[in-house]
Amino acid sequence: MFEGFECARVDVGDVELRVRHGGQGAPLLLLHGHPRTHTTWHRVAPLLAEHHTVVCPDLRGYGESGKPPTDAHHTPYSKRAMAQDLVNLMTELGHSRFSVCGHDRGAAVATRLALDHPKSVTALAVMDGIPIGEHLARCDAKFAQAWWHWFFFAQPEIPERVINADPDAWYKVGTRNTAERLGEENFADFQRAIHNPDTVRAMLEDYRAGLGIDREHDDADRAAGRRVQCPTLVITAGQDDMLDLYGDPVQVWRNWAPHVRGTIIDAGHHVAEEAPEDLAKTLLDFLPS
């Protein structure tokens, strides 16, 4: 995977991040979702690296990145903390300004990055995501039934016990997630992550932060009228459930980003693995060179 890329571990403050980076051109940060690691981008990153310097980290808590102790408010796993990690990472790699694309939980981190660090982010692409506070403000029975795992993951102790009892069953190894679908090395990295109880705990902390401190940050931004100032692209997987939940997600994003447009890619939730060529073309058409 990632031929021509360098794999490194970078100290960004209170954690160390595992990161792959390579290519040439304007810097682009790619952020994975749950329960993946940075290797989810292995089919897309080489296509983008022909035109961009591509940086793919494991988010804090995920994969082989640091997993700090939590606190009562789950602050170490807030999207604000993760966003600061990434500003520090890009600075360490020599990039003061960069574009960012985030998928799933990574979309929430990318959004927080654009809101908290507008001078650093030149363009924002979000895949299958709207701001966490917006999700929760719109939460109804349909959302709770479809995305019940958000509320289960936020419970103390029980989710760890359930997932760690059989990680392969929980994460649908052998059916939805196979070496053939993910690629052998990506699948192996994914399996190492879900079989590590410390990683499982940290991934759950991400969701616990989501229902508390992350929503507080989003609600404060909404009340203050803060919005994403850079060009924003909303990418929706046509075979996932965002369209069913929200109709056109771009209309939701108009409350958060004045310079937004959207597109649909005919793929399931993990677009980077299922439709890498379509995703790469979509991003290259959008991103500043």
Rg (CA), the chain: 17
198 catalytically annotated: no
Nearest to 150, CA basis, from 197, 196, 108: 108
Instruction: Indicate which residue of 42, 85, 95, 104 is catalytic.
Output: 104
Question: Considering Cα of 13, then 209, then 227, then 98, what sign does the dihedral take?
Answer: positive
Decide: 89 and 17 in contact? Cβ < 8 Å.
Answer: yes
Nearest Cα neighbor of 274 from 207, 192, 177 is: 177
- The verdict on whether 104 is a catalytic residue reads yes
- The CA-CA-CA angle for residues 237, 242, 244, to 5°, reads 115
Q: Quick one: the chain helix, strand, coil %, rounded to 5? A: 45, 20, 35
Q: Give the Cα separation of 230 and 29 in Å (integer).
A: 15
Which residue out of 51, 219, 269, 278 is catalytically annotated?
269
Residues noted as catalytic: 104, 269
